[in-house]
Amino acid sequence: MFKMRIFLSGILLLLFPLAVKAASPPVTTLSVVNSTLGNNGWYISGVDTVLNATAVAPAGIASINYYYDNPPVTTVNFLGNNLQESTEKIFTANGTHALYYWAEDSLGSPETTKSATYKIDTMAPYPWMNWIATQLLNDHTFQIKVDISDLTSGIDPTSAQFQYRTDIGLPYGYHTDLLNCSSPFQTDAWAPASYSGGKVTVPAIDFCNSNWGTCSKYLRIKITDQAGNNSIGQYCINSPWFITKNGDAHAELGYYVTSPAAGNYSADYIVSYGGGSNSGFSSANSWYLDDYPLDSIRPTYASLFTDVGARAVALPSGRLPIISGVYLVDSGYTIDNTTIPNNLATQQNLGAVIFVNGDLTVNAHYILHPSAAYVFIVSGRVLVNNSVDEMSGYFIADGNIDLSYTSSGNETTSKPINVYGGLVSGTGFRFSRSFPDQKNVTTPTAIITLQPGYFFNQALMRDFGVKAYYKWAEVAP
C-alpha cells in the first residue's frame, strides 16, 4: 500500500479529495397561476402555486421543500441533473395562511427558507338566520332584519342592499319612496340597507296591499364579504315555516327556508345536513354539523320490519292500541274519530310500534300522555289533513310527510299543527299551511316537540331490543 507524500519547502501535504460546493445556494421563486384574486388581497378561489428553483452550476436541483403553516414538510425530490426544476400545488384552506419553501441542490447546499402569506376566502357569507319582520303603520308595512356573518374575511358593512317584489305586477326592484307604492319604481335595482353588529336592517317597506297569499311578497338582501364574495338571502313574506323543540333536525341535502322562524330558532339543539347549504334554519345553541350524511343509516320500513315486525299483530278492532306492543296494518290506514279510543290521552307509559304498509292518513286530532309513545313506521306517505291541529307519534315514512294535506287543494287554515314526537321522511316534507291573513309572518305552521316518552318509555325500548341505562349529571354552564 502506498501513501503519497509531497514535501514542499518542508511542508507535508497529504492529498485527499476536496469537497466541491456551488458558488451560491439555489434560488426559488414563487408564482400564482389560474387563481382569482378578489378584494383586499383575498383570493376567492384556491391558490395555484408554482415553485420554480434554479441552481448554480455545477450543481443541479435535488429537492424543493415546503410546508403550510406548520410542519410536516413536503419534499419533492429530483435527480439533481438539471439547473431548474419546479413543482405545483393548489392550496384551498380558507383563512390566512403562511407558505414556507426552499430548495436544496445536488451538492447539499440549502436555500434560506422563504415565506409567502395567502388569504383565501372561497365561501360567500352564510347562513341567513333569524329573519324578523316587524309590522309598522299598517298591516302591509314591515321593517325586516336578519343575521348574516362571514367567518373568514368578514362582512363589508357598506355592501348591504335590498330589493323586493309585491303582487301588483312589477318585477324585483324598489319604489323611490318605500312607503308610497305610487312613487317611481326602479326595476332590477338595489336600494341601500344598513349592516351593524352582525345584522342587516332594511328600512320600513310598504308592500302595497293586504292580499296575503302565500309568498305573494318577497324581499331580497345582497351583501358582500371583504374578499368580494356575494351572498343573496331571500325572504318570503307570509310563507309557512316550522320549529322543533327538545330535539335536533337533520336534512340529507340542506335547508332552504323561504320564510325562517320569526324571532325564534328553528331547532333547540343540533342542526345537521349531509350536503348543500343551510339558508334560514337556525339552532338556539348555534350547533351546526355540515357535510354530515346520515343516508346510509336512515331507517326504512323494510329494515325496521326485519328487525321488529316478526312480533307484530293486527290492531285491535282496527283502532289505535291502548296496550303496549308491536302492531301491523297491512294496507293504508286512516286515523279519524272512529279509530281513536276515548281514553287514549290518559294511558300512561303506553309504548307501541305500528307498521303501516301503505299510506297513513290523519284526519282527526289526538294526543298521548307525555309518558306514552307511538312509533309509526310507514311504507308510503304520511298525509295530515290541514284541519288537524295536534297529533302524537314519531313518524318514520319511506315517502313524503305532508302536514297540510287536503283533497280540495285549499291549504288555508286557522291553526298551526303541534306534533308531539318527531318526523323522519325518506323523500321530503311539505309544510304549506297558509293562514288567511299575515299571521304566517309571526306564527309557525308546525311545532314539532319531542316528548319525554321517546327517551324513557320502557315498553318501546323493549320492542326495539334496547337496554337503557340512565346516568344523571350536572352540565356546567
pLDDT tens digits, 199-223: 999 999 999 988 766 677 889 999 9
Residue 189 pLDDT: 97
Residue 142 lies in a domain: yes
CATH number at residue 76: 2.60.40.10
Whether 167 shows a pLDDT value over 90: the answer reads no
Residue 338 lies in a domain: yes
Same domain, 113 and 133: no
CATH number at residue 162: 2.60.40
Same domain, 446 and 322: yes
Rounded Cα–Cα distance for residues 154 and 225 (Å): 6
The alpha-helical segments, DSSP class H, found in 272-374 are: 301-308
Residue 471: band (very low, low, confident or very high) from pLDDT cuts 50, 70, 90: low
Whether 323 shows a pLDDT value over 70: the answer reads yes
Whether 431 shows a pLDDT value over 50: the answer reads yes
- Least confident segment among 156-170, 210-224, 275-289, 350-364: 275-289
Same domain, 226 and 357: no
Rounded Cα–Cα distance for residues 78 and 51 (Å): 14
Rounded Cα–Cα distance for residues 333 and 104 (Å): 76
456: Cβ–Cβ under 8 A, 6 or more apart, which residues? 371, 468, 470
Domain that holds residue 89: 27-120
Q: What is the pLDDT of residues 181-198, one digit of tens each?
A: 999 999 999 999 999 999
Whether 453 shows a pLDDT value over 90: the answer reads no
Same domain, 137 and 111: no
Same domain, 149 and 214: yes
Residue 475: band (very low, low, confident or very high) from pLDDT cuts 50, 70, 90: low
Same domain, 328 and 452: yes
Residue 249: band (very low, low, confident or very high) from pLDDT cuts 50, 70, 90: confident
- For the chain, the average pLDDT equals 83
Residue 462: band (very low, low, confident or very high) from pLDDT cuts 50, 70, 90: confident
Same domain, 96 and 225: no
Instruction: Choose the final residue of a domain: 120, 148, 182.
Output: 120
Q: What is the pLDDT of residues 4-43, one digit of tens each?
A: 343 333 434 444 444 455 569 999 999 999 999 999 999 9
Same domain, 335 and 429: yes
Instruction: Choose the final residue of a domain: 79, 101, 120.
Output: 120
Residue 387 pLDDT: 86
351: Cβ–Cβ under 8 A, 6 or more apart, which residues? 324, 372, 373, 453, 457, 458, 459, 460, 461, 462, 463
Neighbours of 408 (CB within 10 A): 6
Average pLDDT of the segment spanning 139-158: 92
Residue 190 lies in a domain: yes
Residue 184 pLDDT: 96
Whether 455 shows a pLDDT value over 90: the answer reads no
Same domain, 115 and 133: no
Which is more confident, 278 or 315? 315
**Model pTM score:** 0.61
Q: Name the residue with cell 355540515.
A: 290
Contact predicate 262/236, CB 8 Å: no
154: Cβ–Cβ under 8 A, 6 or more apart, which residues? 225, 226
Instruction: Choose the final residue of a domain: 239, 263, 282.
Output: 239
Whether 470 shows a pLDDT value over 70: the answer reads no
Q: Residue by residue, what is the 3-state secondary structure of 355-371?
A: EECCCEEECCCCCCCCC
Residue 211 pLDDT: 77
Residue 267 lies in a domain: no
Residue 116: band (very low, low, confident or very high) from pLDDT cuts 50, 70, 90: very high
Same domain, 42 and 111: yes
Enclosing H/E stretch for 463: helix 458-463
Whether 477 shows a pLDDT value over 60: the answer reads no
Residue 32 pLDDT: 96
Same domain, 77 and 147: no
Residue 54 lies in a domain: yes
Closest CA to 196 of 240, 141, 153, 159: 159
Residue 257 lies in a domain: no
Q: What is the pLDDT of residues 328-361, one digit of tens each?
A: 999 999 999 999 999 999 999 999 999 999 999 9
Residue 8 lies in a domain: no
Whether 47 shows a pLDDT value over 60: the answer reads yes
Residue 109 lies in a domain: yes
Rounded Cα–Cα distance for residues 150 and 134 (Å): 25
Give the rounded percent of residues in the chain with a pLDDT score beyond 90: 54
Contact predicate 421/393, CB 8 Å: yes
Number of domains in the chain: 3
Residue 85: band (very low, low, confident or very high) from pLDDT cuts 50, 70, 90: very high
Same domain, 388 and 329: yes
Which is more confident, 445 or 398? 398
